[in-house]
Amino acid sequence: MTTAHDFSFTAIDGTPLPLSQFKGRPVLVVNVASKCGLTPQYEGLVKLYHDKKDGGLVVLGVPSNQFMGQEPGTNEEIATFCSTTFGVDFPLTAKTDVKGDTAHPFYKWIKQELGEPADPLWNFHKLLVGKDGQALQAFDPRMDPLAPEIVQAVDGAL
């Protein structure tokens, strides 16, 4: 049976980022963008990560330029923006397609697992994967990362 741990991204610094390195830890995968009205959600993602990382949570940011070109920068520019503007210290992938025919295989898999709710509608779509790599839940892009529904789902996954 396929799980999230079977997939690998490229990290924002160009190195391999296999999801198998997160076995035993839940992962909140979020497609992100620097020029979006929802970009301030980085603050909540950083807080959620800091609040829950000792328990095992990983937040994985996946920059994507598929929504009205709101992530136009290079990987280096994105990394600098995230760290200097929002103090992002959770892992980021290189710029990646998250929907359509060119979507990363992880996104195709999780859409098969969870159906339409897992298909990113916009930037900051959130996907929760369990410790065992199973697809657990998808959250709307507009939902604050610190919303009770997300915090409760993360706590349940921990």
Residue 85 domain-assigned? yes
Does residue 17 sit within a domain?
A: no
The one catalytic residue among 36, 143, 146, 147: 36
- Residue 36 appears among annotated catalytic residues: yes
Domain of residue 116, CATH code: 3.40.30.10
51-107 tens-digit pLDDT:
999 999 999 999 999 999 999 999 999 999 999 999 999 999 999 999 999 999 999
- Let me know if residue 108 belongs to a domain: yes
Q: Give the per-residue pLDDT at 26.
A: 98
Helix (H) / strand (E) element for 157: namely helix 148-157
The pLDDT value given to residue 105:
98
pLDDT, tens digit (0-9, with 9 covering 90-100), for 13-38: 999 999 999 999 999 999 999 999 99
pLDDT at 119: 97
pLDDT of residue 39: 97
Q: What is the count of structural domains for the chain?
A: 1
Q: What is the dihedral of CA 69, 27, 79, 40, to 10 degrees?
A: 60
Collapse the DSSP code of 61 into the 3-class scheme (helix H, G, I; strand E, B; otherwise coil) and give the result.
strand
